[in-house]
Each structure stands twice: as C-alpha cells, then as structure tokens.
Structure 1
Amino acid sequence: MLLDVKNLNVYYGAIHALQGISFHIEEGEIVSLIGANGAGKSTTLRTISGILRPRSGSVHFKGEDITTTPAEQIVRRGISHVPEGRKIFAPLTVRENLEMGAYTRDDPDEIQKSMDRVFVSFPRLKERLNQLGGTLSGGEQQMLATGRGMMSKPSLILLDEPSMGLSPILVEEIFNIIKEINSQGTSILLVEQNALMALSISNRAYVLETGRIVLEGNADDIKNNPQVKSAYLGI
C-alpha cells in the first residue's frame, strides 16, 4: 500500500473539519476525492502534505508514519502537492518555477531529465521557458503548477482542483496529461469539482460530506450510484 490514512481528525479552531476519515491508495492508482465545497477535500490534501497537523489519526506513506513529519521532509519522501489556485511564483520565469519544484534534489543532470520529462507532457512550457509565470494564461499556469509538482520526482502527486477556471477544451487536455503522468508510474490523489471528469480517469473514489467519507468504491460504481448522480454529476 502506498498511502494509508487512518481515522484522521483535523480541526480549524473549534471547527471539526475532518471527522475520522480513513482511506488508502495503492501503487499506480488514480484515486479521486469528490464532494461539495467545504466537505474537507483540500483539508485532506493539506494534512497529508504536512501543511496541517491532525489532532488524532495517522498518515502512513510507503509503510512509514509521516503524520508529524515536516512538510519539506514529506516532499523529500516522495509526495508532491499541486495546490488549489495554482500558487505559482508569478515574478519568476517558467524555468525558475520548475527549478523551485526540484529544490530537494541536487543532481543537475537528473533535474534536467525531469525538466525534459515535464516538456514532453507540457510542450507549451518549453516555448515559454523565459516568460514570467504571472503572464501565462490560466491553463498555462495550471500546466506550470503541475509541472513544478513533477520536478521533485514524486511517487504520489496530490492534485487540488486542476480544472478550476479552465475552458472545457483545456480541461480535457489537463485530464489527458494527468492520465499520461499516471501511466509513467506516478500515483495520483485527485480532488476535483468536475466529478464526472475525475471519475472517468480514476480507479477508485471516495465521497466526502462535511468531513466524513460517506461512500467509497471503484470509480464506475460511484459514477453509477443514484445519490452521486443527482448530487454531484447533475444527472
């Protein structure tokens, strides 16, 4: 098992944001977390990547307990977090943003290999290598944020709302690239408002409602569940 989250309880002050959630990811899987705004999806990712500390429960990655491991060390262990809203470094160039993603690595040849790998997935970034991040379009910024996440050579990428604010044609492009990254051996935990799109590329999914997991199963079963259809898929 690659990631094992057990009985996680997370608070924002008095607000009990995650209420004893448990789930897992196997090597090579794409797993989706779906749910309404405020359900706890982003909180889950932030807790796994060490930005938030749970009050109780545990996170194990590759068999090791990383529940209290500092965020910077979690990146070194092989987890990369692509946050909601992209959060690129606007005053830095595309190249500099990508290099920031590789800050845990020190072999220039290996870093260049990873950058070349990013350009295979995102050829547009290569064309804009010396352009400032803040001058890119929304879709290009999402590509840059995802590419930066790939630069640490992670075993697991946490993707938070990769399609937010993108046109339908770009959404399709981003999701094709997510599948391609996964096919190269990187596991993915995907948080996505576009539940139909997320389920179409996932192996399994968990449905979050107000900090609790209310449904889990393989993606096709979740997609065909009547409650999910009416609540999240608009069917």
Structure 2
Amino acid sequence: MAAMLELNDIHVFYGAIHAIQGISLTVREGEIVSLIGANGAGKSTTLNTICGLIRPKNGSITFMGNDITHLSPPDIVKLGISQVPEGRRIFTNMTVLENLELGAYKRTDKDGIRQDIEDVYRRFPRLKERQRQIAGTLSGGEQQMLAIGRALMARPRLLLMDEPSMGLAPILVKEIFEIIKEINNGGTTILLVEQNARMALSIANRAYVLETGHIALEGPANELADNPQVQKAYLGG
C-alpha cells in the first residue's frame, strides 16, 4: 500500500514548550491507524498540525505526494483531509441539516451534496429524524454522529478523528466504533486518536504510542495490544 500521509520529523512549540519532538509517522491508503497515549502526550496537537490549525516549527507533512506543511486549513480540506474534532465542536445554534451543509462548504456540486446528506441520514437515521432540530439540543451520542456526518460531507480521502468516544456511554462507544469500521470499509482512510486504547487497537491496522511529544512504540495494532508495556500503561493489564 502506498503512503497516503507522511509526517517527517515534525516539531511543534507552544511558546517555550516543545509539544511535539520530532514525530515521523505514515498512514497508508485504506488503513485505520491509531494514535494512543496519555493525556498531554501530543495526540490532538499532531492532528491539528496535519490539518493546518497549528504550524510546525520544523519537519514536513506530505499528503498524496503534495507537501501540505504550510497550506491553510481550507486548502487541506480541499485536498481531501477532514477532521472530527475533539469535543465534537458542532455549531450548536444551527440545525442538524445546516451543520451538514456547512461540512460541504468547499463543494459546488449541489446534486452530490444532496446525495451525501441522504447518505449521512442512511448511516445515522436519528439525524434524519432530527434534521430540523437545533444541534445543541441533541444528546452527546447524536452530536458525535453529527460531527462525523459533517466531516464526511467534505468527501475526505483521509478522516482524522479526535477522541470520538469521549464522554459516551459504553453502548454508544461500541456503536461509534462500528461506524468507524464501516466508513473505513467504504474506502476512507482513518487516523484515529483515542483514549480508549483497547477499542482503538481492536479496529486499527497499525498504531503509534505517543509519550510526551515523541513516538515511544509503533507497529501492527494486534502486536501492540499484546505488548506488556502497552498493556500495563494503557490497557489496565
């Protein structure tokens, strides 16, 4: 499989804090790759750097052979990268439908947009029932579905997901992970940041373990799940 996304020796600073210390990672087309690690390890910073919200001080980011290190977030979306942000970040005072339409703001194909909204409703029937409802009144699980649906409206080739299971009841966590697998089976590559390391490793092809801004371990997800170090630190083993 060809490399779709490559991070090469990325360094990110917040003022004097060296948040990301020379990360290099690869995501190949068709994969689910998980980033796991403790709070503050730099997982969200890594995703935000990929999608242009944070500028790296050194290093390069390549997507589909294009250098995207210094591109703006809208241009990165246009190339085919969408993010489901941590904490959902939906537009709470707009309707479900308006949120979905905003996800397609870089597109002009009206028929395709209508078709994709229907696809989102097929995947998330609860959103269809609530399409005219103000998004802030949805439950946590429904808001997460909306955040995923909105990201899919950009027709991404690579979907970045930041803590999709955060704050959800266990039964909903299972449902969200089934949805992630389904999206991947439909041809979308996924880079997943997730506190729930057990679930993240169970659906990923490969994984990276982040510790205070650097990669401590990497490999096939099933091997990392069996790694005593990983079990002790992240799987309660």
Give the alignment's TM-score, normalised by structure 1: 0.99
Counterparts of 1:11-50 in structure 2, within 5 Å, are 11-50=13-52
Q: Structure 1 residue runs of 4+, over 3 Å off?
A: none
Residue matched to 2:93: 91
Residue 60 of structure 1 aligns to a residue in which SS? strand
Per mean C-alpha deviation after superposition, the further-off stretch among 49-58 and 113-122 is 113-122
Residue of structure 2 in register with 1:115 after alignment: 117
Q: What's the offset of the Cα at 1:122?
A: 1.0
Paired position in structure 1 for 2:59: 57
Q: CA deviation at 1:117?
A: 1.5
Fraction of identical pairs, as percent = 65
Q: Which is worse superposed, 9-18 or 111-120?
A: 111-120
Aligned to 2:230, what secondary structure does the other structure show? helix
**Residue 174 of structure 2 aligns with which residue?**
172
Equivalent residue, structure 2, for 1:208: 210
For residue 142 of structure 2, give the secondary structure of its aligned residue in structure 1: helix
| 1:223 maps onto 2:230 in alignment | no
1:68 aligns with 2:70: yes
Shift of 1:120: 2.1
Given residue 217 of structure 2, which amino acid in structure 1 is its aligned partner? L
Q: What secondary structure, in the 3-state scheme, does the structure 2 residue paired with 1:53 have?
A: coil
Structure 1 portions without partners, runs of 5+: none
Distance 2:229 2:115 in 1: 45
Deviation at 1:135, TM superposition (A): 0.2
SS in 2 for 1:216: strand
Q: Distance in 1 between matches of 2:84 and 2:216?
A: 25
Asked whether 1:3 is paired with 2:20, we answer: no
Deviations 1:56-98 (A, max 9, x none): 0000000000000001100000000111000000000000000
Compute the TM-score of the two structures, normalised by the length of structure 2: 0.98
